[in-house]
Every structure is written in C-alpha cells, then in structure tokens.
C-alpha cells in the first residue's frame, strides 16, 4: 500500500504520529520487554520534577464507566535521575523522539528542571506539564490561568533551546485563551488534553475511593472532549497540536488528526492492553487505505 505515516512535530521527524502519553508508559524501557520500541513515533516519559517525589498515598487508581481515575501524584526520581540514567538507558533501545515531561511547583523550579533537561542531548522535545490535577500548589494551578501559563512558558523558553510543548488541562472555561497565551509566550507546540478532574465514592465504606479524594479521569469516555478541544485550539493557534485523551484505535488516531492534531498520544489504553501502541500503529495503513488516505500529513485539521 505504501502509506506514509510520518509527520513532523516542531522540526522533529516522527516515523508515525503515535506517542505513548506521559504517565502511562513509565520511563519507556519497561515496555522494551514486550515489544520493539522502535515501532513508536515517540515516547513521552513519566512526569518529572526538579527533586524526587514519592507521590500520593494509595489507592491511586479507581475505575469508572468509560475509563479510570488516577491520582499518582507525580511519583518520580527527579530530573537528575531522568537525564543521568533513565533517558540514556532508553536511548540505547529507542531511536525515535524522546519527550521529557516536566512538572513543578514554582516558575523557578520548572525553569531549573527544564535547564537540566536541556543539557541532555538524548531528549528531543520538552513537554511542559502545567495540567497535573493531582498535586497541590503546582501542576494544574499553572495551567488554568492564561497569565500563569504564559509566565511559566516564557521562563522555560529562556531555559532551553529544545522545542517546548505545553500540555494543557481540560479543567478550564476557555481552552483557547490558555492555548493562545502559551503560544504568545513562545510555546513551540501544545498537547491536549490532560485528565479531567473526577471523583468516586465507595458507597459501602462512605469514603472516597482515592486516598487523594479526587483524581484525573482518562479513557475512551474523554475522547470526544479531547477531539473538541484539539479542534478548537488547532484552528485558533499556529503552532502544532498533539492530541491526547481516550485514544484506543487507529480510527481514533485518524479522527484526532482530522480535528487538527499533528501527532497523537495514547494514554490509558496502554494500561489495559500492553500491546496498544504497536497494535494501533500496525492497524493504521489498512484503515488509511479504507478511507482513501495516502499520507497522514494530508488529513491534519482537514475537518
């Protein structure tokens, strides 16, 4: 069939648009035991902060209709371990784009962590996480206000020469205003959406299921929300958009790209199906053929 799956994201060529989403693929190497990582376009690594963090108490996971809630709370070994151990180890097994997902609790901390990531030659893109709903005084606090989102984007752009993608929260009234504020502050691209803030209650114990009470909702149930936000932002902004949220099939990838996504992240599906990404990538040519698509680049934002 000779289908062209490649795309270009912020100057980085991806062999296909499929990227496992941050927080659903560890630090990449875990999955090398069960498939060849080189089938992937890129890998977005687990959210990392300047200093190591233990994360939230358990239970951190709750199931719900159409997906799940998580409140992991950015458990990570810190940016020095990321650039010193995790990324170099992954690079030995993976030739595609490595995306470092950076989070923080102050603008200075975001900038310092991104400066450390900047010094790591194996990192291709930085994904600024201003949308984690599971930590207090950080994460989503920066991504729900256009001024704060712009300020952190601007500070990070000064700290690195690598392309910076800003990952946005859907828990806002006006996603376009936040997206435009990040673009104006120098963001090279936007990733949306992070999880939707949710909550479950165990009606037998009359207590919240999650130790952190609330958590982020992800899975197929959020897919239409993600498609809508990608569409809104892609037509309002000039920088590329990476679509994320509930993607579980090759058809979903194509729908997300038609909405305006240049690349597509697969999240929760990796948790229920360890072969989710290779399966989706393998299915793409046939689905493209059925839909009369020769090159994925041709359908970006075609809706």
**Which residues are catalytic, by number?**
132
d(CA 3, CA 63): 37
Of these, 186, 271, 287, 301, which contacts other proteins (CB under 8 A)?
271
Of these, 96, 104, 219, 243, which contacts other proteins (CB under 8 A)?
219
Q: How far is the CB of 42 from other proteins (least distance, A)?
A: 16
Build a one-symbol-per-residue string for 171-210: x at contacts with other proteins by CB under 8 A, - elsewhere.
Answer: ----------------------------------------
Q: Does 31 bind other proteins (CB under 8 A)?
A: yes
Q: Does 294 bind other proteins (CB under 8 A)?
A: no
Which phi and psi (to 5°) does residue 30 adopt? -50, -45
Asked whether the CA dihedral 80, 81, 86, 91 is positive or negative, the reply is positive
Residue 61 or residue 225: which is nearer to other proteins going by CB? 61
Residue 29 or residue 263: which is nearer to other proteins going by CB? 29
Residue 78 or residue 285: which is nearer to other proteins going by CB? 78
Q: How far is the CB of 34 from other proteins (least distance, A)?
A: 6
Q: How far is the CB of 264 from other proteins (least distance, A)?
A: 18
Q: How far is the CB of 215 from other proteins (least distance, A)?
A: 10
Q: How far is the CB of 259 from other proteins (least distance, A)?
A: 24
How many chain residues interact with other proteins (CB under 8 A)? Answer: 31
Build a one-symbol-per-residue string for 39-68: x at contacts with other proteins by CB under 8 A, - elsewhere.
Answer: -------x-----x-xx--xxxxxxx-xxx
Q: Does 70 bind other proteins (CB under 8 A)?
A: yes
Residue 4 or residue 80: which is nearer to other proteins going by CB? 80
Q: Residues near 45 by Cβ (< 8 Å), separated by ≥ 6?
A: 22, 25, 26, 27, 28, 82, 86, 87, 90, 98, 99, 100, 101
Residues in contact with other proteins by CB under 8 A are 23-26, 30-31, 33-34, 46, 52, 54-55, 58-64, 66-68, 70, 72, 75, 219, 270-272, 274-275
């Amino acid at each position: 069939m000779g289908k062209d799956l490649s795309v270009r994201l912020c100057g980085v060529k991806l062999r296909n648009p499929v990227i496992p989403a941050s927080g659903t693929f560890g630090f990449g190497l875990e999955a090398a035991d069960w498939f060849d990582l080189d089938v992937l376009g890129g890998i977005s690594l687990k959210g990392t902060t300047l200093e190591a963090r233990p994360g939230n108490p358990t239970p951190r996971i709750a199931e719900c209709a159409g997906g799940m809630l998580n409140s992991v709370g950015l458990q990570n070994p810190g940016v020095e371990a990321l650039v010193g151990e995790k990324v170099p180890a992954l690079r030995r097994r993976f030739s595609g784009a490595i995306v470092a997902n950076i989070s923080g609790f102050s603008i200075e901390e975001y900038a310092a962590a991104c400066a450390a990531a900047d010094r790591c030659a194996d990192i291709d893109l930085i994904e600024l996480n201003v949308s984690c709903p599971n930590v207090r005084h950080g994460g989503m606090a920066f991504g729900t206000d256009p001024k704060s989102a712009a300020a952190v984007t601007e500070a990070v752009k000064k700290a690195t020469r690598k392309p910076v993608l800003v990952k946005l929260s859907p828990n806002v009234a006006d996603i376009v205003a936040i997206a435009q504020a990040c673009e104006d502050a120098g963001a090279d691209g936007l990733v949306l959406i992070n999880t939707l803030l949710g909550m479950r209650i165990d009606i037998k114990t009359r207590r919240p299921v999650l130790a952190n009470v609330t958590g982020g909702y992800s899975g197929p149930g959020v897919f239409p929300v993600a498609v809508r936000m990608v569409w809104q932002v892609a037509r309002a902004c000039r920088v590329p958009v990476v679509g994320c949220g509930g993607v579980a099939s090759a058809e979903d990838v194509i729908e997300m790209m038609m909405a305006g996504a240049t690349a597509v992240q697969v999240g929760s599906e990796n948790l229920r199906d360890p072969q989710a990404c290779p399966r989706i990538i393998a299915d793409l040519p046939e689905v493209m053929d059925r839909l009369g698509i020769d090159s994925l680049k041709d359908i970006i934002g075609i809706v």
